[in-house]
Amino acid sequence: MVNHAKPKKCPDCGEMANRVMPMDVNGVFNQKISGPIPQNTGVDSLDSHIDRVIGQSAEQGRKAHVDRVNIKKELLRDNPGATGKDITKTADGEFHLMSQEERGARDAALSVNNQAMNAIKQERMKTSPDLHSDDG
């Protein structure tokens, strides 16, 4: 603002007065929520900060994913007979190849789960066959 330090006429009494910053500023934004995307609040510094935080979070998530994939690739490279189905995550977050015993337990658990899911699907088909397709 040009001449921002010069006195101006008071809008109430008309006398010349120094400009003073208000003690506080209040505002209301009537922004329509348009979904799970960054909202435009109308305050550039707030919006750009939120956008930066979202971007940083996305970058951290992407980096963590790339790191996990690289660890798994290294496991497979060092164990030529192994496949991705042989990799498991331990309680402390590390990845390792499952032993034969662990593979057996996994396969048994998957078998029980598949049987349960098939039984549920069959029951649903009995009660309302026209509402359920074969795929699911």
Distance CA(94)–CA(71), nearest Å, equals 9
pLDDT of residue 7: 87
**Contact predicate 24/17, CB 8 Å:** no
Distance CA(69)–CA(95), nearest Å, equals 10
Q: Quick check: helix, strand or coil at residue 76?
A: helix
pLDDT of residue 20: 78
Domain boundaries along the sequence of the chain: 49-98, 99-136
What separation, in Å, do the N-terminal and C-terminal C-alpha atoms of the chain show?
A: 66
Question: DSSP strand E in 32-98: where?
Answer: 87-89, 95-97
pLDDT of residue 109: 96
Residues of the chain with pLDDT under 70: 1, 27-48, 129-136
